[in-house]
Amino acid sequence: MNKISVSAPKARIYTSINLPSSKSICNRALIIKALSGSNNNIENLSDCDDTRVMVKGLDELQPTIDIMAAGTAMRFLTAYLSATKGTHIITGTERMKQRPISILVDALRKLGADIEYTEKEGFPPLKINGHTLEGEKVSLPGNVSSQYISALIMIGPVLKNGLTLTLTGNIISRPYINLTIQIMHEFGAKAEWTDEKTIKIYPIAYKPNDYYVESDWSAASYWYEMAALSDDAEITLPGLFENSFQGDSKVAEIFSELGVITEYKDKEVVLRKSGNCTDRLNYDFVNQPDLAQTFVVTCCMMNIPFRFTGLQSLKIKETDRIAALKKEISKLGYIIEESNDSVLEWNGKRCETDFSSGIDTYDDHRMAMAFAPAVLKTGELVINEPHVVSKSYPNYWKNLLTAGFGIKEL
């Protein structure tokens, strides 16, 4: 399936959608379960690509582990394999081989890890000779991917002397770090912020624990987008919790400025139109970078000017998301400006529309999912390489059909 045509529903969106479970939580819980040596059950595991490669990698522990395009698996497994006995090569797609990992490797080496680059210095693939690590102190810049930080603190309890991690400078994506610490607590670890910049993890072993994974707030963002772009909507999303530790649960608050209200019920939320929209949306996405594509497309299609900051991690995601957003949104007639490799802004500048060739997805699941709801304003839209959604939300197109959208293979 190389292309699909997506068309808008003929009636109001009135539906209930079972979202995928949070891959952020799944992949953390899987690593922690492996470090605990537990056979206990993790319920509601995601069937997305990123989680499947993590399960496969941990279950099989082959001499060569191919995590394909899963950045989370690359970072988490690099730390895990460094702290557990065995020799492995970990590799991935060509794009993965272009995504830097030296910050994590350098930190692990300071803790005593034996890691070699097998191709290009600073990038995967990696050869890891795992053993018990005795180092106990390391520092990282706070503005790096939170996945590096989470990878390190999750192995803290199995280090001989525990781990003290100091973060320097501005700390981004703090909610993801706190999510990791919370899951560690639920498996019996002792980890805490001792001050604004320091996390201490004690050498107290993880305990086996049955664990239930909640639904994914990142996936929910596309349904918020549909509610905002629709004339009328009532969308029920089971499995979401108001007091979630997922950083992307902030989506509910931000979309309230774009006319979508959230009603929290017992283990579900209901989205409705409120009709009250801001004239301009300014937001710092430093703690929720995965929501940026959703809000760029939503604001443009609603003709709401915006200035989004804190996007410095977007250039090293599945694709250069800033470049991809600028190019694809121009097909829909909007010219957005970039500055400082971390800011995207639209102040009303338009261009001729030309989306006859379809929206390119750049091997990036979030490009496909963020642009598809634009059909609520365009009527119809072609999405190229739509299968990329399997990375985090395999049933996305089926769910759109459930909600009344038209989906046709081309």
> Residue 279 corresponds to which tokens in the numbers above?
């004239």
- Distance from first CA to last CA of the chain, Å, rounded? 8
For residues 89 and 125, give the distance between their C-alpha atoms in angstroms, rounded to a whole number: 7
Task: Identify the three-state secondary structure at position 339.
Answer: strand
- Candidates 327, 359, 328; CA nearest to 3 is 359
Q: What is the DSSP string of 83-115?
A: TSSEEEEEE--TTGGGS--HHHHHHHHHTT-EE
Q: How far is CA 98 from the centre of its chain?
A: 18
Give the Cα separation of 53 and 346 in Å (integer): 38
What is the token pair recorded at 55? 């399960």
Pick the catalytic residue from 50, 248, 290, 363: 290
- What SS3 state is found at 400? helix
Tokens 């479970």 correspond to 21
Q: Residue 270 corresponds to which tokens in the numbers above?
A: 């209901």
**Residue whose entry in the numeric block shows the structure tokens 């990038």:** 123
Place of tokens 């060509």: 94
Q: Is 290 designated active site? A: yes
For residue 249, which amino acid is it? S
Beta-bridged to residue 383, according to DSSP, are: 4, 359
Q: Among residues 148, 19, 142, which one has the least CA distance to residue 71?
A: 148
Distance of CA 41 to the CA centre of its chain: 23
SS3 357: coil
Catalytic residues: 290
